[in-house]
A and B are shown apart, each in its own frame.
Chain A
Amino acid sequence: MKSALIIGITGQDGAYLARLLLEKGYAVAGTSRDAQMARTANLRLLGVADKVTLHSASPSDFRGLWQVIEKARPDEIYNLAGQSSVGLSFDQPLETFESVAVATLNILELLRLLGRPVRFYNACSSECFGHTPEPANEETPFKPRSPYAVAKAATCWAVANYREAYGLFACSGILFNHESPLRPTRFVTSKIVSTACRIAAGSGERLSLGNTDVVRDWGWAAEYVDAMWRMLQHPEPEDFVIATGRSHSLMEFTAQAFAAVGLNHADHVDTRPELLRPADIPVSKGDPSKARELLGWAASKDMPLVVKEMVRAEQERLRLQEKCS
């Protein structure tokens, strides 16, 4: 039986990946900074909380990580941990670097030190590309526009350097935005969906958004974790862009969400300049051709379907909440 260690298992991607790997027969261990206090809501929601082993470890603590790897003895390590909000990274740039870049460096150093044939997946991000009016592929140079993106870009290069310098099986998935009902509401997509659902239920509130002209490629998180797994099954360690290949504006996303609950977004949305980021990316487009060709992976859900699924899940949640109260 193969075993996998998911660093950052309690987040959106960690939970979906845990479920996928369990289905594939893996023994799955995961880390959280405090396993006893961990927010296991995502794992519980997917029904896998009891099936994974949780360890306490902060990825920015070398010694702690070492202990966990010794205990879990993984064949594959997935690093999904780290401060993941672009907006928050402007307020917490140092913590973002520590939790993203130092953490990745620690894992790479450990793999080098331990010398075991462990395969390593690093969660990189489309944010590294910055503004991409032409779809970005694996050859597109990085132009990061936030402390989050700069830290992620550093991890991508550190992974490439350790792969080339020491022959580690280490690769980065450059994932474009991927959503699900597990996204916390500080992410704009989740905020839009939950607000639209509440308005439809009669809350009478209004939705405030920053720049709605931004264009993004939104996919479905449950499919993206499959791409992570496929990367580690590929004979050679390589970096891959993971995207749907279809981009939409945030306004289109918003319109879709309101339409899904039978409303016209124009009646409920305000745009507020104070929600603008210090430096934003106007257009983000991805070209997932390489993943399609080499991994046989393609996204089946693009933005309209993603919105539909998110709205369905949110309405379900609201119904449950009502029943319980």
Chain B
Amino acid sequence: MSNKVALITGITGQDGAYLAELLLEKGYTVHGIKRRSSLFNTNRIDHIYQDPHVDNRRFILHYGDLTDSTNIINVIQKVQPDEVYNLAAQSHVAVSFETPEYTANCDALGTLRVLEAIRILGLAKKTRVYQASTSELYGLVQETPQTEKTPFYPRSPYAVAKLYGYWITVNYREAYGMYACNGILFNHESPLRGETFVTRKITRAMARIKLGLQDCLFLGNLDARRDWGHARDYVKMMWLMLQQDKPEDFVIATGVQHSVRQFVQAAAEELGIPVRFEGQGVDEKGYHAETGQCIVAVDPRYFRPTEVETLLGDPSNAREKLGWEPRITFKQMVAEMIQADLRDAERDSLCKTQGFRTYDFHE
């Protein structure tokens, strides 16, 4: 067992939750930074939460925000972490077109604030940093599949901000000899994925359609192709990247690609819904093959000003150096997501029949 101390920014998110579980299993003391909100935002980590009155806590939350330098410096000073995992971000590509400046502030400057805090606190030689970089950096892909050497071509304010985060991490490694590295993670999903991300949106909707809680699922670009893995697999790679002799950037991906349409089909299949696609472009629709009900339709509002059509990662380097082998297949992942969302839908359905109000949680 380790007695290391880790600090996770973005602990309330999908990756933060899985990573916290993993590090606690490994014996770490885990500190997390969460943003203050008037709504509860800790449902992904409630199962590992430890009350402040418990002795020898190994899971400790701090209020904070990557847009506040003083806060980042204070928390890092207090925690004196051996490892920092910078997972906090405005992480939604489509929303970044609406909030480009905020996205730059969190994702670009936020990364710089973390690195700079470590440096000015004199922790540059002690604290190792994992920076959550993203396959969105490849955007309009310059070659397929994408490796650590593929040039970037970001296609959204999110990706441009993350590009800054990537290079400033490289720069702090080169300039100050920090152990800082980028995980260029391709899409990774799970039942904990945010509800507005397309995969989770699909599995939630399909489960609710199955139980008659929803009629139709509206999506954007059905032809977009992504390399989807399971977040539980991916957080292990984050940890491994910080356990190497030398800091290095790694692509983490499955090397397998599916379209959004195929994701819908896989989700429907898991629920035993036969779905048939007809039509082209914005007129394409998915019908329930037995009832004829239209259950999937395209809504151009979900198109992006600049789309990323295809992403496919080549994880050879991670396989060789980190022993990366994704355990959970695409089909298993979709099944797990569907089962979780089906349970939620069943609970809502039950509540409704008993006369309680449930919320649809629209985007």
Give the B-binding residues of A (Cβ under 8 A).
62, 90, 93-94, 97-98, 101-102, 105-106, 109, 141-142, 144-147, 149-151, 153-154, 157-158, 161, 164-166, 277-279
Q: Which of B126-134, B162-170, B276-284 contacts A (4 or more CB under 8 A)?
A: B162-170
A97-B112, A147-B168, A151-B164 in contact; A164/B101 too (CB < 8 A)?
no
* 15 A–B pairs (Cβ distance < 8 Å), ordered by A: A93-B112, A94-B109, A94-B112, A94-B113, A97-B164, A101-B108, A105-B157, A109-B100, A141-B152, A146-B175, A151-B164, A157-B152, A158-B100, A165-B156, A165-B305
The minimal Cβ–Cβ distance linking B101 to chain A, given in whole angstroms, is 6
Q: Bound complex: CA of A166 vs CA of B147, how far in Å?
A: 29
* A106 and B164 contacting across the interface, CB-CB below 8 Å: no
Binding site for A on B (CB under 8 A): 69, 97, 100-101, 104-105, 108-109, 112-113, 116, 151-157, 159-161, 163-164, 167-168, 171, 174-176, 304-306
Determine which of A97, A106, A161 lies in contact with B108 in the assembled complex, contact meaning CB atoms within 8 Å.
A97
> How far does the alpha carbon of A155 sit from the alpha carbon of B155 in the complex, in Å?
13
CA–CA, A142 to B163, complex, Å?
A: 11
Contact of A150 with B101 in the complex, beta carbons under 8 Å: no
Query: Could you say which of A62, A142, A153, A279 contacts B175, with CB atoms under 8 Å apart?
Result: A279
A232 to B338, CA, bound (A): 53
Residue of B nearest to A139 (CB): B151
Q: Which residues of A contact B105 (CB under 8 A)?
A: 102
Main secondary structure of the interface of A (DSSP, over half): helix
- Chain B CB within 10 A, most for which of A105, A109, A161, A277: A161
Contact B164 A154 (CB under 8 A): yes
Q: Is the CB of B175 within 8 A of A154?
A: no
Known: A164-B155, A165-B306, A278-B175. A154 touches B161 (CB 8 A): yes
Main SS class of interface, B: helix
Query: Which residue of chain B has its CB nearest to the CB of A165?
Result: B305
Q: Tell me the bound Cα distance from A91 to B280 in angstroms.
A: 55
Which of B69, B151, B156 interacts with A161 by CB under 8 Å?
B156
* Complex alpha-carbon distance, A164 and B174, angstroms: 33
State A96–B259 Cα separation when bound (angstroms). Answer: 40
B contact residues around A141 at 8 Å (CB): 151-152
Question: In the bound complex, do residue B168 and residue A93 qualify as a contact, i.e. CB atoms below 8 Å apart?
Answer: yes
Closest A residue, CB atoms, query B307? A165
Contact B171 A279, beta carbon cutoff 8 Å: yes
Q: Which residues of A contact B101 (CB under 8 A)?
A: 62, 102, 105-106, 109
Contact B305–A166 (Cβ < 8 Å): yes
State whether A158 touches B157 (Cβ < 8 A): yes
> How far is it, in angstroms, between the C-alpha of A90 and the C-alpha of B109 when the chains are bound?
14
- Are B171 and A145 neighbours in the complex by a CB distance under 8 Å? yes
Contact of B154 among A94, A145, A161 (CB under 8 A): A161
Q: How far is the CA of A144 from the CA of B113 in the complex (A)?
A: 18
Measured CB to CB, the closest approach of chain A to B234, in angstroms, equals: 25
Q: How far is the CA of A278 from the CA of B174 in the complex (A)?
A: 8
A-B pairs, 7 with minimum CB distance: A165-B305, A278-B175, A141-B151, A279-B175, A150-B167, A154-B164, A165-B306
Which residues of A lie under 8 Å from residue B161 when comparing CB positions?
154
- Residues from chain A with a CB closer than 8 A to the CB of B112 are 93-94, 97, 147
Structural contact, A90 and B175, CB atoms closer than 8 A: yes
| B116 with A105: CB separation less than 8 A | no
Q: Give Cα A146 to B172, complex, Å.
A: 9
**In the complex with contacts A164-B155, A278-B176, A154-B160 CB distance below 8 A:** yes
B37 to chain A, nearest CB (A): 25
B164 touches A102 (CB 8 A): no
Question: In the assembled complex, how far is the CB of residue A166 from the closest CB belonging to chain B, in whole angstroms?
Answer: 6
Closest chain B residue, CB of each to CB of A153: B167
Set of chain A residues within 8 Å of B305, measured between Cβ atoms? 164-166
Complex CA–CA separation, A111 to B246 (angstroms):
44
Do A144 and B167 touch (CB < 8 A)? yes
What chain B residues lie within 8 Å of A106 (beta carbons)? 101
A101 pairs with B104, CB closer than 8 A: yes
In the complex, which of the residues B151, B155, B175, B176 has the most CB atoms of chain A within 10 Å of its own CB atom?
B175
Also in contact, A145 and B174, with CB within 8 A (given A93-B112, A105-B104): yes
Contacts A93-B116, A94-B113, A161-B155: A147 and B171 contacting too (C-beta < 8 A)? Answer: yes
- Closest chain A CB from B321 CB (angstroms): 21
Say yes or no: B69 contacts A158, CB within 8 Å: no
How far, in angstroms, from A6 to B176 measured CA to CA in the complex? Answer: 36
The complex places the Cα of A277 from the Cα of B174 at a distance, in Å, of: 11
Given A145-B171, A164-B306, A278-B175: A158 touches B160 (CB 8 Å cut-off): yes
In contact, B160 and A161 (Cβ under 8 angstroms): yes
* In contact, A105 and B175 (Cβ under 8 angstroms): no
CB pair A94–B69 under 8 Å, yes or no, is yes
For residue A158, which residue of chain B has the nearest CB?
B160
Minimum CB–CB distance from B138 to chain A (whole Å) comes to 12
Cα distance A157–B159 when bound, in Å? 9
Q: Given the interface contacts A146-B171, A278-B175, does A154 sit within 8 Å of B152 by beta carbon?
A: no
Q: What's the least CB distance linking B45 to chain A, in Å?
A: 30
Which residues on B sit within 8 Å (CB–CB) of A158?
Answer: 100, 157, 160
Q: Determine the distance from Cα of A287 to Cα of B156 in the docked complex, in whole angstroms.
A: 28
CB distance from A55 to the nearest CB of B (A): 22
A145 to B168, CA, bound (A): 8
- With known contacts A161-B154, A161-B155, A97–B171 Cβ distance under 8 A: no
Provide the residues of chain B in CB contact with A101, threshold 8 Å.
104, 108, 164
Q: How far is the CB of A174 from chain B (nearest CB, A)?
A: 15
**Neighbouring A residues of B100 by C-beta, 8 Å:** 105, 109, 158
Residues from chain B with Cβ under 8 Å of A94 in the complex: 69, 109, 112-113, 116
Interchain CA distance A164-B101 in the complex, whole Å: 18
- 10 additional A-B pairs beyond A157-B160, A166-B305, beta carbons within 8 Å, are A93-B112, A101-B104, A102-B101, A105-B101, A141-B152, A154-B104, A157-B152, A161-B156, A164-B155, A279-B171
